[in-house]
Amino acid sequence: MYKKVRIPDVGKEKLEVIEILVKEGDFVNKKQDLITLEGEKTSIEIPSKETGIIKKVFIKIGDLVKTNSKIFLLKKKNQKEKKVHRNNILKVNKERNIFNKYDEIYTSPMVRRLARKNNINLSEIKGTGKKGRISKEDFLIFLEKKNINYKKYCSKDIFEKKFFFEKFGKTEKVNLNKIQKVISKNLCKSWLTIPHVTQFDEIDITKLEEFRKNVNLDILNNENNSVKITLLPFIVKVIGYALKNFPNFNSSYSEKSNTLFLKKYINIGIVINCDRGIFIPVIRDVLNKSIFEISIEISSFSKKVMSNFLKKKDMEGGNFTISNLGGYGGGHFTPIINFPEVAILGISKYINKNIFLNKKIFNIITLPISLSYDHRVINGVEAVKFINFIKNELEKFHGFIIK
């Protein structure tokens, strides 16, 4: 008995055939994936509803199909033939060491496709999602464990092949400089291998800003000190104390050995942007430096970055990174962790707000912050406590951070 296999209900959108998983003469089981389709917002695999042999293939890679499109001609098998073909296919797969039970594994079509192309047994990967679902991050972490090169998964070749911008108008292709390429590689590795979670909050810095402005007025009257103190040095200092009180944030995690390296020193990196890319010089031994010393060091690093005099050793040994976009505007954002660190704090432009308290209206200054952390090392409760510590010190401003 022959049966035409058609595309099930996939909506009104036409989907592109990007992968054909069987060929004429292949024996297929019920629920076995037959083809992979890709649309503008989704990628899906179409399974077989019957057990039998593929007698004819009506499609090819690149074809556009829609609901009810004809894709295969299937010859349904009786029970005796099913048993013979199943035994034969299992024997062949055993010899080739191919894992075919994809229907028993929860994951996305993209991960299945990458696994097939790289001959990776999905049963070896422990999924962290619901029902053991294997995420892309789980897949890439597995590749890193096996020392398989993951660079190709950050490649833009597919992007360039799929989109032909020239048909809409003139374009210019600009190559990244060496520094930008290194940054791109590191960010890609961090985003793909670290399970990021970002916690957002706002800090009332009204008292701190009043104090900071008074300090800068004193500096203007002192000819021996010309460095203007910004908000950043205060945040650096408070983060230093927070790292001391929450040691998991002051660590690095080894996926290979499942080991957490707790650091007994406190060095904080500061993201500085210039036209050549971003640089992260490191302020060392933060707790033993005053606000004035940290201010001078940040100013010195900024000048080195702009004049291209920053050295490699200036960017080594960081435990935690601060990304400050306050000077550029914008609200909350999701900063990417600076591998091999486990957390990063994003700072946005402060906002003037009116609040109603005790039947009175008060004007306050709030600072939006975004804390991204490695969820393998830090849980949500720890992240909230870390942020609350920072808020408490900056809002109440006990004065110790100026020392």
Please state, in angstroms and rounded to a whole number, the distance separating the CA atoms of residues 275 and 179: 11
**Annotation says 375 is catalytic:** yes
- Strands 282-283 and 15-20 come out as unpaired
What is the number of other CB atoms lying within 10 angstroms of the CB of residue 328?
9
Please state, in angstroms and rounded to a whole number, the distance separating the CA atoms of residues 204 and 366: 4
Contacts of 241 (CB under 8 A, 6+ apart): 287, 389, 393, 401
What is the number of other CB atoms lying within 10 angstroms of the CB of residue 296?
17
Of the residues 196, 332, 375, 398, which is catalytic?
A: 375
* Distance in Å from the first CA to the final CA of the chain: 86
Please state, in angstroms and rounded to a whole number, the distance separating the CA atoms of residues 46 and 5: 10
Q: Tell me which residues are annotated as active site.
A: 375
